Amino acid sequence: MLKVQNLCAGYGPVQVLWDINLAVPARKVVCVVGRNGVGKSTLLNTIAGLADRRSGALCLSGESITQLSTAQRARSGIGYVPQQREICPDLTVEENLLVPIYALGLEPAKLSAVYGRFARLKERRYQVAGSLSGGERKLLAFARVMLCSPKIFLIDEPTEGLMPSAVVEISGLIARCREEGAAVLLVEQNLQVIEAVADRIHLMNSGRIELTLDKFDEAQIVKYLGV
Amino acid sequence: MVNALSKSWSLAISAVFLSVLPLVLPDYYLYLATELLIWALFALSLDLLLGYTGLPSFGHAIFFGIPAYAVGIILTAGYPLIVALLVAVVAASLTGLILGYLATRTGGIGYIIVTLLASFAVFLIAFSWTNLTGGENGLYISRAGTLAALSTQAAYAIVAVSTALIFLGARWLVRSNYGLLLVGIKTNETRAQAMGYNTQLYKFQITIVSAMIAGVAGVLYALLARSLSAELVGPELSTEAVIWVLLGGTQTLLGPMLGAALFILIKQALNTIRAYPIFLGLLFIVVVVWAPSGLLKLPKGLWKSFRRRNTR
Amino acid sequence: MEIVTSQLANGVVVGTTIALTALGLTLIFGIMHIVNLAHGEFYALGAYFTWVAYSLLNKFWVSAAIGIVATAIIGAALLMIFYDKLKGAGPLRWALLTLGFGYVLRELMQLVFGTDFKLVAPPLEGTIPWAGGVYRIAVTVAGLLLILALALFLKKSRYGVLIRAIANNRDAAALVGVSTKTIYTWVALISAGLAGAAGAFMLPVTSAYPTMGLEIMIMAFVVVVVGGMGNIQGALIASLLAGLAQSLLTLIVEPTVATIIVLVAFMLVLVVRREGLQKLW
């Protein structure tokens, strides 16, 4: 589904990623693991078009997306749930959900479908999104992105700082995304979540992928997490 | 090393160039050169704020015009030059204090607007307070005791030496740890604060230093040109100075000085054309869109975009 | 006494004009982070275009509509033409670019229309005691209605939601497919259109002249800063305050001095309260 070839990227003059190669097939969850600051978020940002690509290619279902803007990438099937600043905090929950509906010209009925799936968002529909709890914020961010029916989800540390019950809910959500046919590229530090959902694991260190595991291997992962 | 060597070479060449000028130039052009040096000094003072500290002052003419008016008003009132100079120093410090305080109160875009409005307010005051400033008619300083009473060469020498000394002082300042800190504030103020520096204090201090240098330029201008008008404190000069700095390349000291000279020469050449502000505006647009890092770096930028196009 | 009330009424007209101009300024600032120093020229363009249309059609309100639309299109075209080239440029470069546009526009208007005042008779005649001309009142109402419409548009409409999303979190909006460039074009159209509307409405009051834009822009900037940058409600209230203060002050001092007093007073407000008058209401 998504192919990343020889990608080098960064922010302005600062290069963060060196020669990244990876592929995320449909109905698979690929995990990226590494310490803070090794460039995991930059990788997702670059794929979504928020960081500056230096060289290398990005392909989504066989078509190059390297020249597309962030919004165009979102329209062509990249669904990114960033770790921070993932919603519009001053808008209400409902307005947050209306943004993709209006931007993509979807039917308004989609809104009730979302509310059917996320009852908690319906309860809080007129509340300002900035006042939601961490878990609810994540749900809202997921719901927004799901409205765009992406081919691949890029998800950055969705369980960071959440309560255990919310962690379970989010990993269930990731599994659902996979079952519904999407590919998932997940950045995660939580070992339980990794073990539960990952089909393949890339271990990153200082801007490069150093090791790829096709099976959960706690010893190796812990080494790269540096706990 | 090579870089440092070539820089000291360029300094030596500039020094030789400046000292040869009075020997070869006829009086009229030497006078023009003197005026250009004054504007270059003014541009340098703005580069300290804009280029090094990242304070985009759109009201810098205030620092130039108020001390100039102070000298003019005191001299016209019949006091000796030394009193006028003292008053100018006080006026420069006061304006520096007020705008320095404003700089610590607003940041980024707010700073642009507030300084621009301040410049406009001072312009209106200078324009309408006829008893003090001559208002619309301007203020004329009598010849005695000014630079104009000296020979063109002597006036040039005084201006050239002051400019050179201030340039060297500024160069020393921006290369010191203090200067590095200023650049640090510009690049990432939050980080500088996190490292324990009182960034507001530094911004305040550099505004005063910059005001003083601009004030010297203003006083020299008053003593040389002897005719002052409200434009010298107004938004037009303020914004034009920003373009000089951008034209020459920010954060280089020498670049803005050359930028000022170049811009004023272009302006004088265009001055005879009807509706020359159109060309002025177009020049602004060209600099901002195609030469954001200075005209001196324009060929490099063009080459880069050319290569980028070809590799795509 | 009547002179005071009619100056009050005049202050409300001036305040509404400043508000329309300032709202355009604050929109473009709050959403695109641009200090638009050509904004005053858009106001002047609005007046001149309306004058041109009026001299051809002789119908004021139609001409005003034409003037507003023409200004919106030209203004947005100018703001968007270098949008790609200036991607990632800071506020400084935008300010200088728009300043350059301002020079060019002002001089072009002077070349084309000359320096004399272009007059248009008010489309509504008659005066109301204690309040002044009927046209002024009509213009105030029209201006306030326009502002109300803008507020509703931002609050309720499709594009309003998208505009607020971009203003609030540009990346999060782009990630769900909002094209920033499209939205920015809309914002630029609205912003220039508001300035054009102010200029068109003021044409019968002040007539059109080349420096009219410069004068209103200074006031608009003052109220945008004082009202809290990017804050619509704040800009509106500050505009009315500034208009009233200026009109009442002209009863006792010269107009220039009145402007100076308003300028200095508002800047003092800024020194005392960094966030301007915001959060006072």
Domain residue extents for chain B: 18-233
- Measured CA to CA, the distance from residue C63 to residue B100 in angstroms comes to 48
End-to-end alpha carbon distance in chain C: 31
Looking at residue B6, its pLDDT comes to 59
Looking at residue B137, its pLDDT comes to 84
- Measured CA to CA, the distance from residue C201 to residue C198 in angstroms comes to 5
CA C16 to chain centre: 9
Q: How far is C18 from chain A (nearest CA, A)?
A: 27
Secondary structure element (H or E) that encloses residue C127, with its range = strand C127-128
A125 pLDDT band (50/70/90 cuts)?
very high
- Measured CA to CA, the distance from residue C49 to residue C69 in angstroms comes to 9
* A77 in C contact zone (CB under 8 Å): no
* A153 in C contact zone (CB under 8 Å): no
- Measured CA to CA, the distance from residue B186 to residue B55 in angstroms comes to 8
Q: Which domain holds residue A124?
A: 83-149
Q: How many CA atoms lie within 13 A of C20 on its CB side?
A: 30
Mode of pairing for the β-strands spanning A78-81 and B227-228: unpaired
Q: What is the mean pLDDT of residues C248-268?
A: 85
10 Å CB burial of residue A84 (0-12, 13-18, 19+) is exposed
Looking at residue B248, its pLDDT comes to 87
Q: How far is A21 from chain C (nearest CA, A)?
A: 23
Domain residue extents for chain C: 2-212
Query: Residues with Cβ < 8 Å from A125, sequence gap 6 or more?
Result: A92, A93, A94, A115
Name chain A's partners: 3 or more CB pairs within 8 A. C
Largest CA-CA distance found in chain C, in angstroms, rounded: 60
- Cβ proximity of A76 and A65 under 8 Å: yes
User: Is residue A132 scored above 50 in pLDDT?
Assistant: yes
The fraction of chain C above a pLDDT of 70, given in percent, is 95
Give, in degrees to the nearest 5, the angle at Cα A199 between A197 and A204: 95
Say if the Cβ atoms of B114 and C85 lie within 8 Å. no
Residues of C in contact with B51 (CB under 8 A): none
Looking at residue B25, its pLDDT comes to 86
- Measured CA to CA, the distance from residue A49 to residue A73 in angstroms comes to 7
User: Is residue B2 scored above 80 in pLDDT?
Assistant: no
Which residue type occupies B72?
A: G
If you write DSSP's letter for every residue of A12-66 in order, what string do you get?
Answer: TTEEEEEEEEEEE-TT-EEEEE--TTSSHHHHHHHHHTSSEEEEEEEEETTEE-T
- Measured CA to CA, the distance from residue A91 to residue A97 in angstroms comes to 10
Looking at residue C279, its pLDDT comes to 44
Lowest mean pLDDT among B69-73, B288-292, C37-41: B288-292
Digit-coded pLDDT (tens) for A164-196: 888 988 889 999 899 989 999 999 988 989 998
- Dihedrals phi, psi of C205, to nearest 5 degrees: -85, -50
Query: Residues with Cβ < 8 Å from B300, sequence gap 6 or more?
Result: none
State the average pLDDT for chain A. 92
- Dihedrals phi, psi of B208, to nearest 5 degrees: -70, -45
- Residue C120 backbone zone (phi > 0: left; psi -120 to 50: alpha; other: beta): beta
Digit-coded pLDDT (tens) for C208-223: 998 899 888 888 988 8
Q: Which residue of A69, A95, A148 is in closest CB contact with C176?
A: A148
If you write DSSP's letter for every residue of A176-220 in order, what string do you get?
Answer: HHHHTT-EEEEE---HHHHHHH-SEEEEEETTEEEEEESS--HHH
Residues of C in contact with A48 (CB under 8 A): 175
Residues of A in contact with C171 (CB under 8 A): 50, 70, 82, 85
Q: Which residue of B117, B285, B292 is in closest CB contact with C100?
A: B285
- Cβ proximity of C76 and C185 under 8 Å: yes
Say if the Cβ atoms of B117 and C260 lie within 8 Å. no
Digit-coded pLDDT (tens) for C61-120: 999 999 999 999 999 999 999 988 888 788 888 999 999 999 999 999 999 999 899 988
Query: What is the total count of domains within chain A?
Result: 1
Lowest mean pLDDT among A159-163, B31-35, B70-74, C44-48: A159-163
Say if the Cβ atoms of C107 and B125 lie within 8 Å. no
Q: What is the mean pLDDT of residues B274-294?
A: 84
Tokens for B217, please give them: 């330029």
Tokens for B213, please give them: 């240098």
User: What b/e string do you get for B78-110 counting C-beta neighbours within 10 Å, with b at 16 or more?
Assistant: eeeeeebbebbbebbbebbeebbebbbbbebbb
Digit-coded pLDDT (tens) for B136-188: 888 998 887 788 888 888 999 999 999 999 999 999 999 999 999 999 888 88
B291 pLDDT band (50/70/90 cuts)?
confident
Query: Residues with Cβ < 8 Å from B23, sequence gap 6 or more?
Result: none
Residues of A in contact with C169 (CB under 8 A): 85, 87-89
Q: Which residue has the higher pLDDT, C182 or B144?
A: C182
Give the mutation candidate from C154, C161, C168, C176 for the A interface (greatest A CB count, under 10 A): C176
Q: What is the mean pLDDT of residues B4-9?
A: 64
- Measured CA to CA, the distance from residue C151 to residue C217 in angstroms comes to 22
User: Is residue A19 scored above 80 in pLDDT?
Assistant: yes
- Measured CA to CA, the distance from residue C123 to residue C60 in angstroms comes to 6
- Measured CA to CA, the distance from residue B112 to residue C1 in angstroms comes to 41
User: Is residue B283 scored above 90 in pLDDT?
Assistant: no
Q: What is the CA radius of gyration of chain C?
A: 18
10 Å CB burial of residue B144 (0-12, 13-18, 19+) is exposed
* C172 in A contact zone (CB under 8 Å): yes
State the average pLDDT for chain B. 86
Say if the Cβ atoms of A90 and C172 lie within 8 Å. no
- Measured CA to CA, the distance from residue C186 to residue B213 in angstroms comes to 45
Give, in degrees to the nearest 5, the angle at Cα A9 between A5 and A13: 155
Looking at residue A80, its pLDDT comes to 95
- Measured CA to CA, the distance from residue C196 to residue C218 in angstroms comes to 16
Looking at residue B312, its pLDDT comes to 42
Q: How far is B133 from chain C (nearest CA, A)?
A: 15
Question: Chain C window 260-279: which residues touch B at a Cβ cutoff of 8 Å?
Answer: 260, 263-264, 267, 270-271, 274
Q: How far is B20 from chain C (nearest CA, A)?
A: 36
3-state DSSP of chain B: CHHHHHHHHHHHHHHHHHHHHHHHCCHHHHHHHHHHHHHHHHHHHHHHHHHHCCCCCCCCHHHHHHHHHHHHHHHHCCCCHHHHHHHHHHHHHHHHHHHHHHHHHCCHHHHHHHHHHHHHHHHHHHHHCHHHHCHHHCEECCCCCCHHHCCHHHHHHHHHHHHHHHHHHHHHHHHCHHHHHHHHHHHCHHHHHHCCCCHHHHHHHHHHHHHHHHHHHHHHHHHHHCEECHHHHCHHHHHHHHHHHHHHCCCCCHHHHHHHHHHHHHHHHHCCCCCHHHHHHHHHHHHHHHCCCCHHHHHHHHHHHHHHHHHC
Residues of A in contact with C177 (CB under 8 A): 71, 74-75, 100, 103-104, 148
Digit-coded pLDDT (tens) for B94-111: 999 988 887 677 767 778
Name chain C's partners: 3 or more CB pairs within 8 A. A, B
B258 beta partners: none
**Residue A134 domain-assigned (yes or no):** yes
Q: Which residue of B128, B243, B282 is in closest CB contact with C104?
A: B282
3-state secondary structure (DSSP) of residue A88: coil
User: Is residue B199 scored above 90 in pLDDT?
Assistant: no
C281 pLDDT band (50/70/90 cuts)?
very low
The listed range with the strongest mean pLDDT (B21-30, B70-79, B109-118, B281-290) is B70-79
- Measured CA to CA, the distance from residue A80 to residue A44 in angstroms comes to 8
End-to-end alpha carbon distance in chain B: 36
Q: Which residue of C162, C169, C171 is in closest CB contact with A102?
A: C162
- Measured CA to CA, the distance from residue C55 to residue C39 in angstroms comes to 25
- Measured CA to CA, the distance from residue B306 to residue B300 in angstroms comes to 10
User: Is residue C280 scored above 60 in pLDDT?
Assistant: no
Give, in degrees to the nearest 5, the angle at Cα B156 between B151 and B161: 130
